[in-house]
Structure 1
Amino acid sequence: MYLVDLHAHTRFFHGHRSLGDRFDPLGARVLTEMAARRGLDGVATTNHDYYTHLNTAADAVTLPGIEITTDRGHVLVIGPDPPAETKPGALSPAEAVALAHDRDCAAIVAHPFRNSTVRELTAVPFDAIEVNGKHPRSRPLVEKLASERNLPLVGGSDAHYPFEVGRAYTIVECDRLTPEAVVEAIRDGRVEAQVSRSTLDEVVRRGYRAVHRRKRVIDAIERPTPGVGTPPGEESTE
């Protein structure tokens, strides 16, 4: 049994690819060191629309992954051979899942009730659905969705800062912590989503709730027409 955060990022900013490429080795090292401190055995690096192989010497294993921005929302691809780069919005969820499966990776619905309508696609063969660490209060909705789709639940922190890693994670039942073993465990349902309730995690979540509330107020001022400008599923976040 291993504890693995299946959704984390090696940088706290988006864009600026050349700068990010130089920062990523440091970000990965700090991320895995923090994961080990929090008692995790591994963490998947799922940067937005690209994957770079990074060697780390920390106690936590680094698993390959990518967070693909499809035309309907985000899909996590985790496994031995994720795509090196994808163009944001260029793939449909079905195409992202096919790409993942062609590369022997698992395809996971990321934060299904935040900025996403991926959850509405019942015919796409996803491997799991994520309980996201940014808004664990949506878990009952995610559990219902997973039950309807007969899919397992996994947990990921969606960390963009190292101190966020581990606020949600996955218990993985396997003999060895390898990308191939994790994919097999997800597909077999030998995984379980967990949410950390530490004091730090609760403080961080309260901060995010305040930011989200302020953002919705600003959106309402700028776009006063009801329902206009609200990302799909945003109403279900913290």
Structure 2
Amino acid sequence: MFAVDLHAHTRAFHGHRTLGDLFDPLGVRLLAWETARRGLDGVATTNHDYYTPFSPSGATVIPGVEVSTTRGHVLVVGPDPPRETAPGELTPAETVGLAHDRGCAAIVAHPFRNSTVTELDDLAVDAVEINGKHPQTRPLVAEIAEKRGLPLVGGSDAHYPIEAGRAYTLIDAPELTPESVVAAIRDGRVEARVRNGITDRLLRRLYREIHRRKHPDSVLGSSSPGIGEPPEE
């Protein structure tokens, strides 16, 4: 059994690609170190709309990308994620097809934050995420997963190393490789876990306050921050 954070970023900011590319080698080392320090075995690097191969020491790094689809974000995790996608260009169905063609799993990211991906009944995703920024939506996410017969996975959505591992996935596999992660997700041999320590609770409160200030109209109560339409709609 392996503990893997399936949703994490190597930088604290979006855009500024040139600057980010310079920072990412340091960012991934810090992320892998902090993930291992928190007792996890691996972490997926799911930067927004691009993937860069990394092999730092510390936790095992699983390739991935967070695709900004026309209806919200979908995580593509596995051995061969696309190197770059155009934000808001691919539909969820196109993203899932791309993931499967490349031997990757497609996961609905934070379905209750700026997303309507789960409204697509015929979408062949592999799992639904419980996001570390607002795990209080777990009953709602679990209801979606049960209705669709999909497994739940956990990811921290970390943009700073200290956030790594606040939500993660237990993976029943003989070894920890990108291929074994994909197979376990598709077979349902996964279990979402959420940490609820003091640091984790404080970080979530800070996130809710930041999100409230940035997007006051999209927050429907403190128990479910960020519910709303995806950015492209």
For Structure 1 versus Structure 2, the TM-score category normalised by the shorter chain is over 0.9
CA deviation after TM superposition for structure 1 residue 74, in Å: 0.2
Match of 2:173 in 1: 174
What are structure 2's unaligned runs of at least 5 residues? 219-226
Match of 1:226 in 2: none
CA deviation after TM superposition for structure 1 residue 209, in Å: 2.0
Instruction: Give the stretch that moved more between structures: 32-41 or 202-211.
Output: 202-211
After superposition, the C-alpha distances for 1:97-137 in whole angstroms (9 at most, x for unaligned) are 00000000000000000000001011010000000000001
| 8 Å contact from structure 1 (residues 65, 78) kept in 2 | yes
Match of 1:213 in 2: 212
- Amino acid paired to 1:194: R
Match of 1:232 in 2: 229
In 1, distance between residues paired with 2:214 and 2:186?
37
Q: Does 1:109 align with 2:99?
A: no
Q: Does 1:24 align with 2:20?
A: no
| 8 Å contact from structure 2 (residues 72, 230) kept in 1 | no
After superposition, the C-alpha distances for 1:11-64 in whole angstroms (9 at most, x for unaligned) are 001111111111111000000000000000000000000000012022x10000
Match of 2:54 in 1: 54
CA deviation after TM superposition for structure 1 residue 208, in Å: 1.6
State how 1:1-238 maps to structure 2 within 5 Å.
Answer: 1-58=1-58, 60-217=59-216, 219=217, 231-232=228-229
1:31 partner SS: helix
Higher radius of gyration, 1 or 2:
1
| 8 Å contact from structure 1 (residues 34, 162) kept in 2 | yes
Cα–Cα, structure 1 residues 112 and 18, in superposed 2: closer, same or farther, change >3 Å?
same
State percent identity of aligned pairs.
65
- Amino acid paired to 2:44: A
In 2, distance between residues paired with 1:142 and 1:25?
33
In 2, distance between residues paired with 1:30 and 1:216?
29
After superposition, the C-alpha distances for 1:131-184 in whole angstroms (9 at most, x for unaligned) are 000000100000000000100000000000000000000000001000000000
CA deviation after TM superposition for structure 1 residue 76, in Å: 0.1
Please report the RMSD computed on the Cα atoms of aligned residues, expressed in angstroms.
1.5
After superposition, the C-alpha distances for 1:54-87 in whole angstroms (9 at most, x for unaligned) are 12022x1000000000000000000000000000
| 8 Å contact from structure 1 (residues 113, 232) kept in 2 | no
Alignment coverage as a number of residue pairs: 223
Cα–Cα, structure 1 residues 100 and 168, in superposed 2: closer, same or farther, change >3 Å?
same
CA deviation after TM superposition for structure 1 residue 232, in Å: 2.2
In 1, distance between residues paired with 2:122 and 2:22?
40
